[in-house]
Amino acid sequence: MLSVTEARSRIIARLQPVAAETLGLADAAGRILAQPVHAPHALPPFANSAMDGYAVRAADVAAASSAAPVTLQVIEDIGAGHEPKSTLSAGTAARITTGALLPAGADAIIPVEWTGTDKPQSAQQCPPSIRVAQPAQPRQFIRAAGSDVTAGSPVLQAGVRLSASAVGLLAALGIAQVEVASRVRVAVLSTGDELVPLGAALAPGKIRNSNSYTLAALIHEAGGTPIDLGIVPDSIAAVEHSLAAAVQQGAQLIVSSAGVSMGNLDVVRQTLEKSGRVEFWQVNMRPGKPVLFGAHNGVPFLGLPGNPVSAIIAFELFARPALLHMSGCGQWERPAVMARMAADIQSDGRETYVRARVELDERSGELRARTSGGQESHMLGAMANANALLIIPAGVKSVRTGDPVKAWLLPN
């Protein structure tokens, strides 16, 4: 039976990257860059003040002290966005706001608080002079041109997801359009005669189709576009019809839930074995052992277990990395921390993913992990309450209180 790492590697090896598209910056947040970005100019583009205060010549205030303050004549009032008109000469200063362009001759900024006042400045009235009671060093409180980004330097690499900060950086550089990976189109089918849509009454033996909604949400979170193929009955003909619909609707990846285990009604596995290509079936993990990977009409196919927690864990381990890889993003692992177990837990020796809460123990300053509820694969409540997955390596059957354990942090 394949390990999780081996199975994931075999999936990724079969995938092709999606095409790129050009988007306006306003629509690019959360998308994955297809091309690296270089700075067309420096940031800041000019030297400017880091404080509200006064632009001065450092030599003029080098000997300033509370016992012998230095008086400077204020010759200009410079606001952000306005070009200075004066050049500072000996004994002069210019009032200046944060972000404003420095006047010629200035090489330091004196904060307002250094001039003997702690009151906000008046926009209408600029003082004719100031008294400075402490020295300023050259370049003090000045943001040098290019101190953040130098012209021509690489600022964002291909494969990164555009965060709000990255979008802001691109805007500051005047980049209005970016090349990003197209959203991967993922067909989703949930199989089972027991499933009913939301809003339908629950007859005996029936359950609501939660997996379609869960998988669609996970696909969205990974940057893909779900194609909902609805509930598929437990028949080979019905599965074949849905697979054909997935191909017809342009799916680049097909994800199913249920129908891939060992039962007589596990018709997804039987259909793929009959008409498609099965790369592997079953992975040495818990929960989620019955995972199938193959292809249908050239479209990669990933069959997940039907139990809702197993489907989520299998998506996290295989479908999410697949989507990100197809989008050109190599970083698929969740942020990881080490935490200490707050109680004993047991495993059966398979690589196990424990639904847990990881929280800071304020006494010890360490992260502590405890299960978020029951660990059976149908217990969606414990999964929804988890903020982490604890990874118990293959071969380990017991983790004791106080033992360190690796935890993947989940978005919630």
Q: What is the pLDDT of residues 136-165, one digit of tens each?
A: 999 999 999 999 999 999 999 999 999 999
- Mean pLDDT calculated for residue range 255-281: 85
All CATH 2.40.340.10 domain ranges of the chain, comma separated, are: 336-409
Q: What is the pLDDT of residues 291-332, one digit of tens each?
A: 999 999 999 999 999 999 999 999 999 999 999 999 999 788
Cβ neighbourhood burial of 74 (10 Å; 0-12, 13-18, 19+): middle
CATH of domain 20-43+149-181: 3.90.105.10
- Mean pLDDT calculated for residue range 9-19: 96
The pTM is what?
Answer: 0.89
Q: What is the pLDDT of residues 27-59, one digit of tens each?
A: 999 999 999 999 999 999 999 999 999 999 999
- Mean pLDDT calculated for residue range 368-384: 96
Fold entry, domain 48-143 = Molybdopterin biosynthesis moeA protein; domain 3 (2.170.190)
Question: Contact 367/337 with Cβ under 8 angstroms?
Answer: yes
Residue 287 has pLDDT above 90, yes or no: yes
Residue 346 has pLDDT above 80, yes or no: yes
Question: Contact 398/348 with Cβ under 8 angstroms?
Answer: no
* pLDDT given for residue 119 in this prediction: 65
Question: Contact 311/215 with Cβ under 8 angstroms?
Answer: yes
Take residue 141 and report the two structure tokens written for it: 């409180």
All CATH 3.90.105.10 domain ranges of the chain, comma separated, are: 20-43+149-181
* pLDDT given for residue 264 in this prediction: 74
Mean pLDDT of the chain: 94
Query: For 174, left (φ over 0), alpha (ψ -120 to 50), or beta?
Result: left
Question: Contact 234/259 with Cβ under 8 angstroms?
Answer: yes
- CATH superfamily ID and name for 336-409: MoeA, C-terminal, domain IV (2.40.340.10)
CATH of domain 4-18+183-327: 3.40.980.10
Closest CA to 171 of 81, 37, 20, 19: 37
Lowest mean pLDDT: which of 21-30, 108-117, 396-405?
Answer: 108-117
The residue among 332 and 224 whose pLDDT is bigger is 224
- Residue 32 makes CB contacts below 8 A (sequence gap 6+) with 159, 160, 161, 162, 180, 181, 223, 324, 327, 328, 329
* pLDDT given for residue 120 in this prediction: 66
* pLDDT given for residue 118 in this prediction: 63
* pLDDT given for residue 406 in this prediction: 97
Take residue 381 and report the two structure tokens written for it: 């409540």
Rg of the chain in Å (alpha carbons): 31
* pLDDT given for residue 401 in this prediction: 97
- Mean pLDDT calculated for residue range 341-360: 96
Residue 87 has pLDDT above 90, yes or no: yes
